[in-house]
Structure 1
Amino acid sequence: MQLRWIILASALAGLAAGLLLSAPFARFIPPAEGHGAWYASRAAGLVAYGFLWLSLAGGLVMSSAWFDGIVNRARLLALHQSLALAGLALGLGHALVLIPDGWTHFGLADLFVPFASYYQPADAAMGTLALYLFAIVSFSFWFRGAIGPATWRWVHRASFVAYIAALWHGVRIGTDTGTLPVTLLYILTSSLLLGALAVRLTYVRPRRQPAARPPSRAAAEPAG
């Protein structure tokens, strides 16, 4: 329950900050001039990347048991799943919003068939494959019992392939990649993810030592 209130408060705070800061910073945002869908797609793509990164990093933290006793694992799992689904929804919106845009001329095949895009087909395909892989990994939560824990773990490892594909897509084809904030975003998130992966591979959860049993009454009494 507390986590829900934290998320709600954070969303309201972000909304309030956006309303207060939109006017002062509006002059730094280029006018849409008929390219609103293009700007919306770029924004959705960056936010989708952020959500999927948070989900992947949270999954590493949860599986490493590093924060056991500090963060409730059930809440962390719920947050991990919610972030993944939010990232998928935004990733889907990142693609779909371009279809009605008369400037880019993307069709369904360009966006959802790997290597079929007329614009940089290989780099665009990385985004498509990342979306599909993240979807498979995310929805595998509900099929874990059917496919078995071992297969589920292998499916889950595909999220790293999906992240690399998403990062490649963003760096190679993203219009904002050359800007300092986005460049720092990619460097910081990938570095932190490597750190979380190192923790996951090397951290060994300390075993709890059993409490010492008190000596029996017969052993405690002096002989004679």
Structure 2
Amino acid sequence: MTDGPFLWYLNRSTGLVLLVLLTTSTVLGVLAMNGRAGRGVPRFVTQSLHRNLALLSVVLLVVHVASAVADTFVDIRWWQAVVPVGATYMPVWLGLGTLSLDLMAVVVLTSLLRSHLSLRAWHSVHLLSWLAWGVAVVHGLGIGTDLGTDPATLLAPEHRWAALPTLACVGAVLAAGLVRLGRTRRPARVREPLAERSLP
């Protein structure tokens, strides 16, 4: 255990980068649904990138949690990283971060066991990644000192470095969700049977 600015900066920076990685992975996962990643982008590219970013997020999450626990400036115990209740330091916001971690762990575990699960069961659990992302955003907004406590000062110069990426991440996921919603509501194009097509 130690105390110092290095762990503080490490925890804050990994938290912000982690949010960007989780957002990118979430957006890619949403856009790759129904087998369409977008024009000119093969599905296997988005799936591979989505999976690799998710794995990188897990590694960064370990660093983020370890730096928070190792920093003695605040009292965060190891067990509080996996149990979302009972924390003494900012229990609500820390509990939300722990809940996000637990949800991510379930998603990762079921992804590793995907070959042993039905597609419906795997997909149902995988949708928890949306909830994990949303809870992580709220965790960062509530527990971080980088965004301040007054929403009116969110875009103040001292908070802008953390506020702008956070707002961009929220906007990206909302945009991806709208695109996904538009795809599900768009009627599927009925292809003309080959035998009935007129030949030139």
Contact 1:109 1:116 in 2 (8 A): no
Look up the SS of the partner of 1:97 in the other structure.
Answer: helix
Residue 189 of structure 2 corresponds to residue 214 of structure 1: no
Contact 2:93 2:142 in 1 (8 A): yes
Q: 1:33-72 maps to which residues of 2 (within 5 A)?
A: 34-72=4-42
1:106 and 1:142, CA in 2 relative to 1: closer, same or farther beyond 3 A?
closer
Structure 1 CA distance for aligned equivalents of residues 199 and 121 of structure 2? 46
Q: After superposition, give the CA deviation of every residue in 1:192-214 in whole Å (9 maximum; x if it has no partner).
A: 21121121122146455555243
Equivalent position of 1:90 in the other structure: 60
Equivalent position of 2:115 in the other structure: 145
After superposing the two structures, state which structure 1 stretch, 203-212 or 156-165, moved more. Answer: 203-212
**Which ranges of structure 2 fall in alignment gaps of 5 or more residues?**
149-158
Q: After superposition, give the CA deviation of every residue in 1:42-83 in whole Å (9 maximum; x if it has no partner).
A: 111111111111100000111154545511111211110111
1:206 and 1:177, CA in 2 relative to 1: closer, same or farther beyond 3 A?
farther
Same amino acid, percent of matched pairs: 30
1:150 and 1:67, CA in 2 relative to 1: closer, same or farther beyond 3 A?
closer
Structure 1 CA distance for aligned equivalents of residues 190 and 8 of structure 2? 53
Equivalent position of 2:85 in the other structure: 115
Structure 1 CA distance for aligned equivalents of residues 37 and 45 of structure 2? 12
When the two chains are superposed, the root-mean-square deviation of aligned CA atoms in Å is 2.2
Structure 1 CA distance for aligned equivalents of residues 193 and 38 of structure 2? 18
Q: After superposition, give the CA deviation of every residue in 1:116-142 in whole Å (9 maximum; x if it has no partner).
A: 221111110111111121222133223
Look up the SS of the partner of 2:113 in the other structure.
Answer: helix
Larger radius of gyration: 1
Equivalent position of 1:17 in the other structure: none
Structure 1 CA distance for aligned equivalents of residues 193 and 111 of structure 2? 34
Residue 176 of structure 2 corresponds to residue 196 of structure 1: yes
Q: After superposition, give the CA deviation of every residue in 1:10-46 in whole Å (9 maximum; x if it has no partner).
A: xxxxxxxxxxxxxxxxxxxxxxx92211111111111
Contact 1:52 1:88 in 2 (8 A): no
**Which ranges of structure 1 fall in alignment gaps of 5 or more residues?**
1-32, 216-224
Equivalent position of 1:15 in the other structure: none
Q: After superposition, give the CA deviation of every residue in 1:75-103 in whole Å (9 maximum; x if it has no partner).
A: 21111011111112111211112333232
Among 77, 80, 88, which residue is 2:47 paired with? 77
Among 161, 166, 174, which residue is 2:144 paired with? 174
Q: Which amino acid aligns with 1:173?
A: I
Structure 1 CA distance for aligned equivalents of residues 105 and 74 of structure 2? 26
Structure 2 CA distance for aligned equivalents of residues 150 and 167 of structure 1? 27
Number of positions where the alignment pairs a residue of Structure 1 with one of Structure 2: 183
> Shift in Å at residue 106 of structure 1?
2.3
Equivalent position of 1:160 in the other structure: 130
Look up the SS of the partner of 2:174 in the other structure.
Answer: helix
